[in-house]
Structure 1
Amino acid sequence: MTIFKPVFTAIALALVSASVVPSAHAGDTLLMQRARQAESMNLPKKGMSMADVERRFGSPTSKLDARGGGSRKQPVINRWMYPGYIVYFERSHVIHTVLNTPAGNNTHP
């Protein structure tokens, strides 16, 4: 009986792994599509100042409460929401722009 236990475990592991792989590829594909979409859009770029973003893209629909700022290693992070994307600033410069998810589940970024 002990011979079959490792074989059974290996087969079960292989089946579980095989069932996970297709969903991982689908997720990767969606992520790649969103990355291409973001690249083709006119979005705030890394390094832009808050003033530049507001001048070029207009006022955000909302400015979320700042986070961090407790120390030099944890700078203040500001987040501005625009229709379709969120702009993240470290202190007063863009560090990242993120498209809203199709499901709209980033309501508390």
Structure 2
Amino acid sequence: MHTFKPVFLALALAAAASSVHAGDDLLVHRVQQEKGMNLPAKGMTMAEVEKRFGAPTSKLDARGGGSRRQPVINRWMYPGYIVYFERSRVIHTVLNTPAGNNKDPSNPR
């Protein structure tokens, strides 16, 4: 019975390590995919994004803004990606992919 625990632990650790590696591969693929696309760039203003990419399919409710350390974060949804703004400037654009957890950011879990 005592030899079973170390074997089980070794198998569990090996399974965890392989799932982390698979997650890293998905992240690398996602970053490469984003680099090859024409997406809103960090620093663009809301007006620049709307002029270049058109109106978003939806503008989600703003989050944050309670203090200077927690600025207002706005999120605009486009087909295939979401643009995150700090106040009125782009801070990140994220693809809506099956590997991501951002398929429906308007419905937090």
The answer as to whether partners of 2:85 and 2:92 remain within 8 angstroms in 1 is yes
- Provide runs of 4+ in structure 1 moved above 4 Å: none
Q: Number of residue pairs matched?
A: 105
Aligned-pair identity (%): 69
CA positional deviation for 1:89: 0.3
Q: Which has the larger radius of gyration?
A: 1
The TM-score, its normalising length taken from structure 2, stands at 0.86
**Larger helix fraction of residues:** 1
Which consecutive unaligned segments of at least 5 residues does structure 2 have?
none
Tell me which of 12, 19, 24 is aligned to 2:15.
Answer: 19
Task: Answer yes or no: is 1:108 the counterpart of 2:105.
Answer: yes
Cα distance in structure 2, aligned partners of 1:75 and 1:91: 6
CA positional deviation for 1:21: 2.1
Cα distance in structure 1, aligned partners of 2:19 and 2:27: 12
Which residue does 1:74 correspond to in 2? 70
The TM-score, its normalising length taken from structure 1, stands at 0.86
Cα distance in structure 2, aligned partners of 1:104 and 1:98: 9
